Protein backbone atom coordinates (compact mmCIF):
# COMPACT_ATOMS: atom_id res chain seq x y z
CA UNK A 1 0.00 0.00 0.00
CA UNK A 2 1.16 3.54 -0.72
CA UNK A 3 2.72 6.01 1.67
CA UNK A 4 2.12 9.73 2.11
CA UNK A 5 5.12 11.80 3.10
CA UNK A 6 4.59 15.26 4.53
CA UNK A 7 6.89 17.93 5.84
CA UNK A 8 4.93 20.15 8.18
CA UNK A 9 5.31 23.44 9.94
CA UNK A 10 4.01 25.99 7.42
CA UNK A 11 0.57 27.56 7.08
CA UNK A 12 -1.60 26.49 4.18
CA UNK A 13 -2.17 29.35 1.75
CA UNK A 14 -4.02 29.35 -1.55
CA UNK A 15 -7.05 28.08 -3.34
CA UNK A 16 -8.45 24.61 -4.01
CA UNK A 17 -11.63 23.25 -5.58
CA UNK A 18 -13.66 20.66 -3.67
CA UNK A 19 -14.27 17.33 -5.45
CA UNK A 20 -17.62 15.61 -5.93
CA UNK A 21 -19.05 13.77 -2.94
CA UNK A 22 -18.16 10.12 -2.37
CA UNK A 23 -21.17 9.40 -0.20
CA UNK A 24 -23.50 10.98 -2.77
CA UNK A 25 -21.94 9.31 -5.82
CA UNK A 26 -21.92 5.72 -4.48
CA UNK A 27 -25.68 5.32 -3.86
CA UNK A 28 -26.32 7.06 -7.19
CA UNK A 29 -24.20 4.43 -8.89
CA UNK A 30 -26.23 1.76 -7.15
CA UNK A 31 -29.41 3.54 -8.31
CA UNK A 32 -28.29 3.21 -11.93
CA UNK A 33 -29.03 -0.53 -11.63
CA UNK A 34 -32.76 0.20 -11.37
CA UNK A 35 -32.92 1.58 -14.90
CA UNK A 36 -32.76 -0.39 -18.14
CA UNK A 37 -30.92 2.45 -19.84
CA UNK A 38 -28.19 5.01 -19.29
CA UNK A 39 -27.41 7.56 -16.61
CA UNK A 40 -24.57 10.07 -16.55
CA UNK A 41 -23.01 11.35 -13.35
CA UNK A 42 -21.08 14.59 -13.86
CA UNK A 43 -18.52 15.78 -11.29
CA UNK A 44 -18.13 12.17 -10.16
CA UNK A 45 -15.04 11.81 -7.95
CA UNK A 46 -12.31 9.59 -9.37
CA UNK A 47 -11.59 7.76 -6.12
CA UNK A 48 -10.93 4.14 -5.20
CA UNK A 49 -14.41 3.48 -3.77
CA UNK A 50 -16.08 4.75 -6.95
CA UNK A 51 -13.78 2.53 -9.04
CA UNK A 52 -14.65 -0.45 -6.82
CA UNK A 53 -18.37 0.20 -7.30
CA UNK A 54 -17.78 0.57 -11.06
CA UNK A 55 -16.02 -2.80 -11.09
CA UNK A 56 -18.95 -4.44 -9.30
CA UNK A 57 -21.45 -2.90 -11.73
CA UNK A 58 -19.44 -4.18 -14.70
CA UNK A 59 -19.34 -7.67 -13.17
CA UNK A 60 -23.16 -7.54 -13.14
CA UNK A 61 -23.26 -6.70 -16.85
CA UNK A 62 -23.30 -2.90 -16.75
CA UNK A 63 -21.34 -0.90 -19.31
CA UNK A 64 -19.46 2.08 -17.95
CA UNK A 65 -17.22 4.77 -19.39
CA UNK A 66 -15.49 7.89 -18.15
CA UNK A 67 -15.05 11.22 -19.90
CA UNK A 68 -13.01 13.38 -17.54
CA UNK A 69 -15.27 13.48 -14.42
CA UNK A 70 -18.40 12.24 -16.13
CA UNK A 71 -19.22 8.62 -15.48
CA UNK A 72 -21.76 7.01 -17.80
CA UNK A 73 -23.44 3.82 -16.63
CA UNK A 74 -25.67 1.74 -18.86
CA UNK A 75 -27.52 -1.14 -17.17
CA UNK A 76 -29.63 -2.16 -20.18
CA UNK A 77 -28.09 -5.62 -20.33
CA UNK A 78 -27.69 -6.31 -16.64
CA UNK A 79 -27.63 -10.07 -16.09
CA UNK A 80 -26.07 -10.80 -12.72
CA UNK A 81 -27.39 -10.66 -9.18
CA UNK A 82 -24.38 -12.01 -7.31
CA UNK A 83 -21.67 -9.71 -5.96
CA UNK A 84 -18.22 -11.17 -5.80
CA UNK A 85 -17.08 -11.88 -2.23
CA UNK A 86 -13.88 -9.86 -2.54
CA UNK A 87 -15.66 -6.88 -4.11
CA UNK A 88 -18.28 -6.86 -1.36
CA UNK A 89 -15.62 -7.05 1.31
CA UNK A 90 -13.65 -4.19 -0.26
CA UNK A 91 -16.28 -1.54 0.37
CA UNK A 92 -19.21 -0.88 2.65
CA UNK A 93 -21.34 0.71 -0.06
CA UNK A 94 -21.63 -2.59 -1.91
CA UNK A 95 -24.61 -3.12 0.43
CA UNK A 96 -26.44 -0.37 -1.51
CA UNK A 97 -26.73 -2.77 -4.39
CA UNK A 98 -29.05 -4.97 -2.35
CA UNK A 99 -31.99 -2.55 -2.62
CA UNK A 100 -31.45 -1.77 -6.27
CA UNK A 101 -30.79 -5.37 -7.37
CA UNK A 102 -33.90 -6.53 -5.52
CA UNK A 103 -35.86 -3.81 -7.28
CA UNK A 104 -34.43 -4.69 -10.68
CA UNK A 105 -33.80 -8.46 -10.59
CA UNK A 106 -35.86 -9.61 -7.62
CA UNK A 107 -32.80 -11.35 -6.26
CA UNK A 108 -29.38 -10.52 -4.81
CA UNK A 109 -26.54 -12.56 -3.36
CA UNK A 110 -23.74 -10.80 -1.51
CA UNK A 111 -21.15 -11.40 1.18
CA UNK A 112 -21.36 -9.17 4.25
CA UNK A 113 -19.97 -5.80 3.15
CA UNK A 114 -16.61 -4.43 4.29
CA UNK A 115 -15.45 -0.82 4.54
CA UNK A 116 -13.69 1.08 7.27
CA UNK A 117 -13.26 -0.83 10.52
CA UNK A 118 -14.87 1.68 12.84
CA UNK A 119 -17.12 -0.63 14.79
CA UNK A 120 -19.57 -3.46 14.29
CA UNK A 121 -21.48 -1.82 11.43
CA UNK A 122 -24.42 -4.24 11.32
CA UNK A 123 -26.89 -4.20 8.40
CA UNK A 124 -29.90 -5.55 10.30
CA UNK A 125 -31.97 -2.45 9.49
CA UNK A 126 -31.32 -2.85 5.77
CA UNK A 127 -32.45 -6.46 5.88
CA UNK A 128 -35.58 -5.60 7.90
CA UNK A 129 -36.61 -3.14 5.20
CA UNK A 130 -36.36 -5.79 2.49
CA UNK A 131 -38.24 -8.30 4.61
CA UNK A 132 -40.99 -5.78 5.34
CA UNK A 133 -41.30 -5.31 1.57
CA UNK A 134 -41.84 -9.08 1.21
CA UNK A 135 -38.32 -10.27 0.33
CA UNK A 136 -37.05 -13.48 1.90
CA UNK A 137 -33.57 -13.06 3.35
CA UNK A 138 -31.35 -16.03 4.10
CA UNK A 139 -27.93 -16.04 5.68
CA UNK A 140 -25.42 -18.81 5.01
CA UNK A 141 -22.28 -18.03 6.95
CA UNK A 142 -21.18 -14.61 5.70
CA UNK A 143 -23.28 -14.94 2.54
CA UNK A 144 -26.63 -13.22 2.26
CA UNK A 145 -29.32 -14.00 -0.25
CA UNK A 146 -32.50 -11.99 -0.65
CA UNK A 147 -35.33 -12.88 -3.02
CA UNK A 148 -38.78 -11.51 -3.75
CA UNK A 149 -41.64 -13.95 -4.35
CA UNK A 150 -42.89 -11.90 -7.34
CA UNK A 151 -41.84 -8.30 -6.66
CA UNK A 152 -41.21 -5.94 -3.76
CA UNK A 153 -44.37 -4.54 -2.15
CA UNK A 154 -44.66 -1.04 -0.77
CA UNK A 155 -45.36 -0.82 2.95
CA UNK A 156 -44.81 1.42 5.99
CA UNK A 157 -41.44 1.17 7.68
CA UNK A 158 -40.31 3.13 10.73
CA UNK A 159 -36.57 3.06 11.40
CA UNK A 160 -35.76 2.54 15.09
CA UNK A 161 -32.55 4.58 14.74
CA UNK A 162 -31.24 7.01 12.17
CA UNK A 163 -29.24 5.15 9.52
CA UNK A 164 -27.98 6.74 6.32
CA UNK A 165 -27.39 3.45 4.53
CA UNK A 166 -30.65 1.80 5.59
CA UNK A 167 -32.63 4.88 4.54
CA UNK A 168 -30.89 4.86 1.14
CA UNK A 169 -31.45 1.15 0.68
CA UNK A 170 -35.12 1.57 1.60
CA UNK A 171 -35.47 4.30 -1.02
CA UNK A 172 -33.75 2.22 -3.69
CA UNK A 173 -35.93 -0.79 -2.94
CA UNK A 174 -39.10 1.30 -3.00
CA UNK A 175 -38.60 3.10 -6.31
CA UNK A 176 -39.91 0.22 -8.44
CA UNK A 177 -41.91 -1.61 -5.77
CA UNK A 178 -45.61 -2.29 -6.26
CA UNK A 179 -47.65 0.38 -4.42
CA UNK A 180 -46.49 3.09 -2.03
CA UNK A 181 -43.74 2.86 0.57
CA UNK A 182 -43.69 5.12 3.60
CA UNK A 183 -40.29 5.43 5.23
CA UNK A 184 -40.41 7.04 8.67
CA UNK A 185 -37.68 8.31 10.97
CA UNK A 186 -35.34 8.52 7.98
CA UNK A 187 -31.83 9.91 8.33
CA UNK A 188 -31.47 13.54 7.19
CA UNK A 189 -27.96 13.48 5.74
CA UNK A 190 -27.72 15.60 2.57
CA UNK A 191 -26.59 12.62 0.51
CA UNK A 192 -30.08 11.13 0.95
CA UNK A 193 -31.63 14.28 -0.47
CA UNK A 194 -29.19 14.19 -3.38
CA UNK A 195 -30.06 10.55 -4.07
CA UNK A 196 -33.78 11.40 -4.07
CA UNK A 197 -33.23 14.26 -6.53
CA UNK A 198 -31.24 12.00 -8.81
CA UNK A 199 -33.96 9.34 -8.67
CA UNK A 200 -36.57 12.00 -9.41
CA UNK A 201 -34.56 12.96 -12.49
CA UNK A 202 -34.80 9.27 -13.45
CA UNK A 203 -38.59 9.40 -13.08
CA UNK A 204 -39.07 8.14 -9.52
CA UNK A 205 -41.98 9.53 -7.49
CA UNK A 206 -40.72 10.64 -4.10
CA UNK A 207 -42.38 13.00 -1.65
CA UNK A 208 -41.12 14.49 1.62
CA UNK A 209 -37.55 14.91 0.38
CA UNK A 210 -35.32 16.43 3.06
CA UNK A 211 -37.65 15.33 5.89
CA UNK A 212 -37.72 12.29 8.17
CA UNK A 213 -40.80 10.97 6.33
CA UNK A 214 -40.38 9.86 2.74
CA UNK A 215 -43.25 8.69 0.59
CA UNK A 216 -42.29 6.71 -2.49
CA UNK A 217 -44.81 5.62 -5.08
CA UNK A 218 -43.45 2.73 -7.09
CA UNK A 219 -43.09 3.24 -10.85
CA UNK A 220 -42.62 0.58 -13.50
CA UNK A 221 -40.21 2.35 -15.78
CA UNK A 222 -37.46 4.88 -15.26
CA UNK A 223 -35.79 7.10 -17.85
CA UNK A 224 -32.28 8.14 -18.89
CA UNK A 225 -30.95 10.94 -16.72
CA UNK A 226 -27.90 13.03 -16.04
CA UNK A 227 -26.97 14.56 -12.73
CA UNK A 228 -24.28 16.74 -11.17
CA UNK A 229 -22.77 15.05 -8.11
CA UNK A 230 -22.68 17.76 -5.41
CA UNK A 231 -19.38 18.69 -3.73
CA UNK A 232 -18.09 16.64 -0.82
CA UNK A 233 -18.86 18.25 2.54
CA UNK A 234 -16.31 16.10 4.41
CA UNK A 235 -13.48 16.92 1.99
CA UNK A 236 -14.39 20.61 2.36
CA UNK A 237 -14.33 20.21 6.15
CA UNK A 238 -10.99 18.40 6.03
CA UNK A 239 -9.29 21.18 4.05
CA UNK A 240 -10.84 23.87 6.25
CA UNK A 241 -9.52 22.12 9.36
CA UNK A 242 -6.12 21.61 7.71
CA UNK A 243 -6.01 25.40 7.35
CA UNK A 244 -7.03 25.71 11.02
CA UNK A 245 -4.30 23.32 12.18
CA UNK A 246 -1.64 25.33 10.32
CA UNK A 247 -3.19 28.79 10.97
CA UNK A 248 -3.46 29.26 7.23
CA UNK A 249 -5.61 31.31 4.88
CA UNK A 250 -7.37 29.38 2.15
CA UNK A 251 -10.07 29.76 -0.46
CA UNK A 252 -12.18 26.70 -1.04
CA UNK A 253 -14.23 26.61 -4.23
CA UNK A 254 -17.49 24.70 -4.68
CA UNK A 255 -18.17 24.33 -0.97
CA UNK A 256 -21.64 23.12 0.09
CA UNK A 257 -21.75 25.80 2.81
CA UNK A 258 -25.23 24.92 4.13
CA UNK A 259 -24.15 21.32 4.60
CA UNK A 260 -21.09 22.19 6.69
CA UNK A 261 -22.79 24.53 9.20
CA UNK A 262 -21.85 22.37 12.21
CA UNK A 263 -18.23 22.11 11.00
CA UNK A 264 -18.07 25.90 10.58
CA UNK A 265 -19.53 26.45 14.06
CA UNK A 266 -16.76 24.43 15.68
CA UNK A 267 -14.21 26.24 13.49
CA UNK A 268 -15.59 29.58 14.70
CA UNK A 269 -15.33 28.42 18.31
CA UNK A 270 -11.61 27.85 17.73
CA UNK A 271 -11.31 31.47 16.59
CA UNK A 272 -11.41 30.79 12.84
CA UNK A 273 -12.96 33.36 10.52
CA UNK A 274 -14.70 32.79 7.23
CA UNK A 275 -16.90 34.40 4.65
CA UNK A 276 -18.76 32.91 1.81
CA UNK A 277 -19.78 34.15 -1.59
CA UNK A 278 -21.68 31.69 -3.73
CA UNK A 279 -19.83 28.43 -3.28
CA UNK A 280 -16.52 30.16 -2.52
CA UNK A 281 -15.45 29.94 1.11
CA UNK A 282 -12.66 32.26 2.23
CA UNK A 283 -11.21 31.07 5.50
CA UNK A 284 -8.74 32.98 7.64
CA UNK A 285 -7.51 30.62 10.34
CA UNK A 286 -4.61 32.78 11.53
CA UNK A 287 -6.56 33.58 14.71
CA UNK A 288 -7.27 29.96 15.69
CA UNK A 289 -6.23 29.72 19.34
CA UNK A 290 -9.25 28.74 21.46
CA UNK A 291 -9.67 25.16 22.61
CA UNK A 292 -13.13 23.70 21.99
CA UNK A 293 -14.02 22.15 25.32
CA UNK A 294 -16.63 19.64 24.20
CA UNK A 295 -17.81 18.32 20.86
CA UNK A 296 -19.93 15.29 20.23
CA UNK A 297 -20.62 13.66 16.91
CA UNK A 298 -24.25 13.42 15.90
CA UNK A 299 -26.43 12.58 12.96
CA UNK A 300 -26.90 15.42 10.47
CA UNK A 301 -27.27 18.34 11.05
CA UNK A 302 -24.99 17.67 14.04
CA UNK A 303 -21.21 17.48 13.91
CA UNK A 304 -20.33 14.58 11.55
CA UNK A 305 -18.58 11.46 12.79
CA UNK A 306 -16.52 11.58 9.59
CA UNK A 307 -14.87 14.78 10.89
CA UNK A 308 -14.19 13.49 14.41
CA UNK A 309 -10.58 12.38 13.94
CA UNK A 310 -9.80 15.45 11.81
CA UNK A 311 -11.07 17.67 14.64
CA UNK A 312 -8.92 15.73 17.09
CA UNK A 313 -5.86 16.57 14.96
CA UNK A 314 -6.68 20.30 14.98
CA UNK A 315 -7.36 20.43 18.73
CA UNK A 316 -3.89 19.03 19.38
CA UNK A 317 -2.50 22.32 18.05
CA UNK A 318 -4.48 24.52 20.47
CA UNK A 319 -3.47 25.01 24.12
CA UNK A 320 -6.01 23.72 26.62
CA UNK A 321 -8.08 20.64 27.31
CA UNK A 322 -10.87 19.44 25.04
CA UNK A 323 -13.13 16.44 24.90
CA UNK A 324 -14.66 14.74 21.88
CA UNK A 325 -17.40 12.16 22.25
CA UNK A 326 -18.10 9.72 19.40
CA UNK A 327 -21.82 8.98 19.43
CA UNK A 328 -22.29 7.21 16.09
CA UNK A 329 -19.74 4.40 15.88
CA UNK A 330 -18.53 2.55 18.96
CA UNK A 331 -14.94 1.99 17.82
CA UNK A 332 -13.90 5.09 15.93
CA UNK A 333 -11.15 6.55 18.11
CA UNK A 334 -8.31 4.39 16.79
CA UNK A 335 -6.55 7.31 15.13
CA UNK A 336 -5.80 8.70 18.61
CA UNK A 337 -3.10 6.06 19.02
CA UNK A 338 -1.39 7.20 15.81
CA UNK A 339 -1.70 10.90 16.68
CA UNK A 340 0.10 10.11 19.94
CA UNK A 341 3.10 8.93 17.89
CA UNK A 342 3.36 12.52 16.61
CA UNK A 343 3.52 13.74 20.21
CA UNK A 344 -0.22 14.33 20.66
CA UNK A 345 -1.46 14.05 24.23
CA UNK A 346 -4.75 12.18 24.03
CA UNK A 347 -6.47 9.90 26.47
CA UNK A 348 -9.35 7.72 25.29
CA UNK A 349 -11.92 5.79 27.29
CA UNK A 350 -14.93 4.17 25.66
CA UNK A 351 -16.42 6.68 23.28
CA UNK A 352 -14.55 9.69 24.72
CA UNK A 353 -11.24 11.28 23.81
CA UNK A 354 -9.63 13.94 25.99
CA UNK A 355 -7.12 16.09 24.16
CA UNK A 356 -4.46 18.17 25.85
CA UNK A 357 -3.47 20.52 23.09
CA UNK A 358 -0.70 22.99 22.47
CA UNK A 359 2.27 20.66 22.98
CA UNK A 360 4.78 20.24 20.15
CA UNK A 361 3.94 17.81 17.36
CA UNK A 362 6.90 16.12 15.70
CA UNK A 363 6.99 14.12 12.48
CA UNK A 364 7.05 10.32 12.81
CA UNK A 365 6.03 7.12 11.04
CA UNK A 366 2.29 6.48 11.49
CA UNK A 367 -0.35 4.19 9.97
CA UNK A 368 -3.69 5.20 8.51
CA UNK A 369 -6.35 3.01 10.16
CA UNK A 370 -9.31 4.17 8.12
CA UNK A 371 -10.20 6.74 5.47
CA UNK A 372 -10.93 9.80 7.61
CA UNK A 373 -8.35 8.79 10.21
CA UNK A 374 -5.72 8.84 7.44
CA UNK A 375 -6.79 12.36 6.46
CA UNK A 376 -6.60 13.38 10.14
CA UNK A 377 -3.00 12.16 10.27
CA UNK A 378 -2.21 14.32 7.23
CA UNK A 379 -3.76 17.34 8.99
CA UNK A 380 -1.67 16.71 12.13
CA UNK A 381 1.45 16.13 10.01
CA UNK A 382 0.99 19.53 8.36
CA UNK A 383 1.11 21.12 11.79
CA UNK A 384 4.05 19.03 13.02
CA UNK A 385 7.71 19.90 12.67
CA UNK A 386 9.80 17.55 10.54
CA UNK A 387 8.77 14.71 8.28
CA UNK A 388 5.80 12.38 8.77
CA UNK A 389 5.36 9.18 6.79
CA UNK A 390 1.78 7.89 6.73
CA UNK A 391 1.59 4.19 5.91
CA UNK A 392 -1.48 2.53 4.36
CA UNK A 393 -2.28 5.83 2.62
CA UNK A 394 -4.45 3.82 0.24
CA UNK A 395 -7.21 4.27 2.82
CA UNK A 396 -7.15 7.99 2.11
CA UNK A 397 -7.39 7.41 -1.64
CA UNK A 398 -10.70 5.64 -1.05
CA UNK A 399 -12.30 9.04 -0.50
CA UNK A 400 -9.94 11.86 -1.50
CA UNK A 401 -9.29 12.14 -5.21
CA UNK A 402 -6.03 14.06 -5.03
CA UNK A 403 -5.24 15.04 -1.47
CA UNK A 404 -1.55 15.31 -2.36
CA UNK A 405 -2.14 17.70 -5.30
CA UNK A 406 -4.80 19.64 -3.37
CA UNK A 407 -2.59 20.20 -0.33
CA UNK A 408 0.47 20.87 -2.51
CA UNK A 409 -1.64 23.53 -4.25
CA UNK A 410 -2.05 25.11 -0.82
CA UNK A 411 1.71 25.15 -0.33
CA UNK A 412 2.15 21.90 1.61
CA UNK A 413 5.22 19.77 1.04
CA UNK A 414 3.63 16.40 0.36
CA UNK A 415 4.38 13.39 -1.76
CA UNK A 416 2.67 10.05 -2.38
CA UNK A 417 4.70 7.00 -3.25
C1 LIG B 1 -22.74 6.46 6.27
C2 LIG B 1 -21.54 7.08 5.58
C3 LIG B 1 -20.38 7.20 6.54
C4 LIG B 1 -20.81 7.96 7.79
C5 LIG B 1 -22.09 7.35 8.38
C6 LIG B 1 -22.65 8.18 9.53
C7 LIG B 1 -21.75 6.38 3.27
C8 LIG B 1 -21.23 5.55 2.15
N9 LIG B 1 -21.16 6.24 4.46
O10 LIG B 1 -22.38 5.16 6.69
O11 LIG B 1 -19.33 7.92 5.88
O12 LIG B 1 -19.78 7.88 8.74
O13 LIG B 1 -23.12 7.28 7.37
O14 LIG B 1 -22.91 9.48 9.10
O15 LIG B 1 -22.65 7.18 3.08
N16 LIG B 1 -26.63 0.70 12.20
C17 LIG B 1 -27.27 -0.42 12.71
N18 LIG B 1 -27.90 -1.28 11.85
C19 LIG B 1 -27.94 -1.05 10.50
C20 LIG B 1 -27.30 0.10 9.99
C21 LIG B 1 -26.66 0.96 10.86
O22 LIG B 1 -27.24 -0.65 13.92
O23 LIG B 1 -28.52 -1.87 9.79
C24 LIG B 1 -25.94 1.63 13.11
C25 LIG B 1 -24.44 1.74 12.82
O26 LIG B 1 -23.72 0.71 13.44
C27 LIG B 1 -24.12 3.11 13.38
C28 LIG B 1 -25.41 3.89 13.09
O29 LIG B 1 -26.43 2.93 12.86
O30 LIG B 1 -23.91 3.04 14.75
C31 LIG B 1 -25.34 4.82 11.91
O32 LIG B 1 -24.84 4.13 10.79
P33 LIG B 1 -25.30 4.50 9.29
O34 LIG B 1 -25.93 5.86 9.31
O35 LIG B 1 -26.06 3.39 8.74
O36 LIG B 1 -23.88 4.61 8.57
P37 LIG B 1 -23.50 4.11 7.11
O38 LIG B 1 -24.67 4.26 6.20
O39 LIG B 1 -22.84 2.79 7.21
Render pLDDT for 14-61 as a digit per residue (tens, 0 to 9): 999 999 999 999 999 999 999 999 999 999 999 999 999 999 999 999
SS3 content of the chain, % helix, strand, coil (to 5): 35, 25, 40
| Closest to 35 measured CA to CA, from 278, 221, 194 | 221
Please, what is the average pLDDT of the chain? Answer: 95
Q: What is the pTM of this model?
A: 0.97
> Ligand 1 pocket check: which of 157, 328, 372 to mutate, most ligand atoms within 8 Å of Cβ?
328
Residue 312 in this model has a pLDDT that exceeds 90: yes
Contacts (Cβ under 8 Å, ≥6 apart) of 43: 19, 20, 69, 70, 228, 229, 230, 231
- Residues 386 and 171: their CA atoms lie apart, in Å, by 49
Residue 169 Cβ inside 6 Å of ligand 1? The answer reads no
CB 15 within 8 A of CB 408: no
Residue 128 Cβ inside 6 Å of ligand 1? The answer reads no
- Mean pLDDT across the stretch 287-300? 98
Lowest mean pLDDT among 81-95, 215-229, 340-354, 401-415: 81-95
**Which band of pLDDT confidence, cut at 50, 70 and 90, is reported for residue 120?**
low
Catalytic center residues: 116
Q: How far is the first Cα of the chain from the last one, in angstroms, to the nearest whole number?
A: 9
**Which band of pLDDT confidence, cut at 50, 70 and 90, is reported for residue 119?**
low
Q: How far is CA 369 from CA 82, 115, 203, in A?
A: 29, 11, 40
Question: Atom 37, ligand 1: which residue's CA is nearest?
Answer: 165
pLDDT of residue 140: 84
Rounded distance from Cα 165 to ligand 1 centre (Å): 6
pLDDT of residue 89: 83
In percent, how much of the chain has pLDDT > 90?
Answer: 91
pLDDT of residue 111: 87
Residue 23 Cβ inside 6 Å of ligand 1? The answer reads yes
pLDDT of residue 116: 47
> Ligand 1 pocket check: which of 163, 259, 302 to mutate, most ligand atoms within 8 Å of Cβ?
163
Residue 114 in this model has a pLDDT that exceeds 70: no
Which contacts (CB < 8 Å, 24+ apart) does range 196-201 have? 196/171, 197/227, 198/28, 198/31, 198/225, 198/227, 199/31, 199/34, 199/171, 199/175, 201/225, 201/226, 201/227
Question: Atom 29, ligand 1: which residue's CA is nearest?
Answer: 163
Residue 230 Cβ inside 6 Å of ligand 1? The answer reads no
Amino acid sequence: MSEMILEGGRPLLGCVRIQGSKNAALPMMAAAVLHEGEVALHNCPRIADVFSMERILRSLGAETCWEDHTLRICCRNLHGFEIDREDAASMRSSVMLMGSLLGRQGCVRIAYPGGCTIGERPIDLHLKVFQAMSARVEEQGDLLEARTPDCLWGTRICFPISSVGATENGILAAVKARGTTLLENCALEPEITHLCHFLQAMGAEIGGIGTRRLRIRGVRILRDAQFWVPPDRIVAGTYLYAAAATRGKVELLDVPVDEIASILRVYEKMGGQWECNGGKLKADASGVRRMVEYTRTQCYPGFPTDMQSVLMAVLLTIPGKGRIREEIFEDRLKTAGELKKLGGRIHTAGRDAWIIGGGPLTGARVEARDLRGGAALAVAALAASGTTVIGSAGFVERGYEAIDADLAGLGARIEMR
